[in-house]
Amino acid sequence: MMPYNYILSNQLRKNMGISLEGAIVIIDEAHNISQAAEQALSFEINTVALRRITHELTYLLKLYDFEMYKTVRSKSEYHHIMGEVNQDLSNAAPDQQE
């Protein structure tokens, strides 16, 4: 017997040495499993972490930009490539309009 989160989390199962291969799992109080699954698969992130991630990604983009500038044959090729990168980033960004 064990709590739901031990079954639902791959990482917890791995850390605890629990293998479900060939196992039959019987869940008591199964009406509570949806809440347990939601908690097991969710996470929280604070604004400090988001700022740090944004800073690190900005740094990486600048580094990529610099490395790309060193490798291209001409400024027009560089601007073409970076325009495509910026377009890809814009397309990947979530829609801000609601």
Query: Region 68-86: what's the mean pLDDT?
Result: 77
**Where do the domains of the chain lie?**
4-40, 47-92
Q: Which DSSP symbol is given to 93?
A: S
CB–CB of 62/53 below 8 Å?
Answer: no
For residue range 15-38, what is the model confidence (pLDDT) as tens digits?
A: 888 888 998 888 888 787 788 778
Q: Which residue has the higher pLDDT, 22 or 7?
A: 22
Rounded CA-CA distance 85/91 in Å is: 10
DSSP structural state of residue 14:
H
∠ CA 63-87-94 to the nearest 5 degrees? 100
